[in-house]
Amino acid sequence: LAIFVPVDPTDLRAVIVPKAGIAHNHPTFPRMKVPCAVRMKYANAVEIFGPVAATTLRVDKAASTRSLLGGKLPQELHESMINDRVRRNIVKGMKHESAPSGFDLGVLHQFNLEQQDVLAERYIQSVNTHADGMYVIITMNPQLAPFLHKARWIMVDTTFKVVHGKTNEWKLVIWVGEFNKRLVVGRVWSNRATRSAFQLVWDGIFDAVKVLTGKELVFRLFSKSSELMGAIGDAEGAQAQALGDTVISRRMNNPAVSKMASFNADEILLSIWKTCLVHYTRGILNILDHISSEDQDYLRRFLYLELGETPEFYEFCNNHTNKKIQDWWRHKKSYPWLLPSYNRSLSQMKKKYWDLMPADTNPIEGSHAQDNQVMSTNHPILHAIILLVVHVNYSRNLLTFDSLSAKQYDNDNARILLASMNSGILAKRDNTQEDLFKAQGRRQESMNRKRCATAEASVEEERLSSQLKDYQGKAKET
């Protein structure tokens, strides 16, 4: 062979001239095409892992894949599998097979499919989409919906970790007294947090309850037959205002019961809405470095002021020169219902209702952590709502549930409640606030008794030691 290369060392081209009359061959091309058997084997590995949560990295490193391939890496099955794109395309194809309409707003396709089911098996209750890209998806387990009519209060909050991207999950939590149990009865998935979006949220929830139970959910303020005393949430203004709008649009008011001939959204909230006290305190903690300890203590006292003490507090905040306090106060005054929703004496809610409702949103905050542990986080919408991630462990012949969907989690809760109803056995017998405070009191009392016993023993030990020294001194003298 004669090989000619350019003088320029950066030019990597070459001209090869075989000698005439001498036989020669060419190197074989790399085997880039994936054999059908190899493709099917890797697709099987993806199927076993679960296409919903599959990525090439997860599938390649999964124990189920190693077991299926006899300890080999996918790249060792065939030269073509070394190419990441080849494996990625197989995973992508499997994902498309499992959810042809996609994992995001493929949820609309799933909703249409569920409309063919009987009412008792539908989980996605409604899907609202708008030209500006906003969407609101209402989900509720039909077996859990009736518990809302027995609820004394509803608690709402938004969590941000479950779904990947801009979609957030809004949850509706109640306390089921007959089971001493916190229960998530409704979940809403949306990419907006405006007043109009939250009205779709509230309307969707009330519509779902009416469809699933055949009965409108109303507040006790408007109906003597209702158990629902009020709602509690954080200081998200749009969320609370939208509830007031929904009460008006659904014509819940019965003037004969409520004694309210007419009202606007803000006036309604004065009678049915409480705001979490922890969020109030958290707002003060955010400006802690910029205010004096005396101001901090005085701001905290607002939660417990009587009606005659509030004018002095208002005057204090209005005239304060600290910019941080002025900004904090400006936000608190921006909604007519907000300050009364923190303070029992200012609120127009019936005092017995106020006292029976929680002072904070800790129950729903706790549900976020529990859900994240069971359902994991950062999922596409359809995955978070509907699809269950199941892995198969071939070596042990086991099914591994890596994460539950919201639907499966709510279904499980409904089954647990049914088991409790049939058996009369509660998951936690002593689980009310009263029970917890009693247990806390007993623990404190026990600790105090032990502390007193230790102190008495210490005194007795000192007395005996002193007495012993006296005897020893007398013995030396004699």
The conformation of residue 34, written as its DSSP 8-state character, comes to: P
Question: Average pLDDT of 101-116?
Answer: 79
Count the alpha carbons within 13 Å of 452 in the hemisphere toward its beta carbon: 6
Q: 186: closest CA among 341, 367, 358, 366?
A: 367
pLDDT at 397: 45
Token pair listed for 402: 């890596």
Q: How confident is the model at residue 394 (pLDDT cuts 50, 70, 90)?
A: very low
pLDDT at 323: 95
pLDDT at 108: 83
* Greater model confidence, 105 or 382: 382
Q: pTM to 2 decimals?
A: 0.75
Largest CA distance in the chain: 131
- The percent of residues above 90 in pLDDT, for the chain, comes to 58
Start-to-end C-alpha separation, the chain: 121
Interstrand relation of 230-233 and 273-275 (parallel, antiparallel or unpaired): parallel
pLDDT at 54: 83
Judge whether residue 443 has pLDDT over 90.
no
The conformation of residue 146, written as its DSSP 8-state character, comes to: G
pLDDT at 478: 67
pLDDT at 102: 67
Helix (H, G, I), strand (E, B) or coil at 395: coil
For the ranges 80-84, 191-195, 213-217, 428-432, the lowest mean pLDDT is seen at 428-432
Question: Average pLDDT of 183-187?
Answer: 94
Judge whether residue 393 has pLDDT over 50.
no
- H-only helix segments in 132-264: 195-213, 237-249, 255-258
Q: List pLDDT tens digits, range 154-177.
A: 999 999 888 888 999 999 999 988
371 within 8 A of 41, measured Cβ to Cβ: no
pLDDT at 177: 85
**Integer Cα distance of 321 and 315 in angstroms:** 12
* Greater model confidence, 41 or 107: 41
In Å, what is the CA distance from 163 to each residue of 100, 152, 364? 19, 30, 18
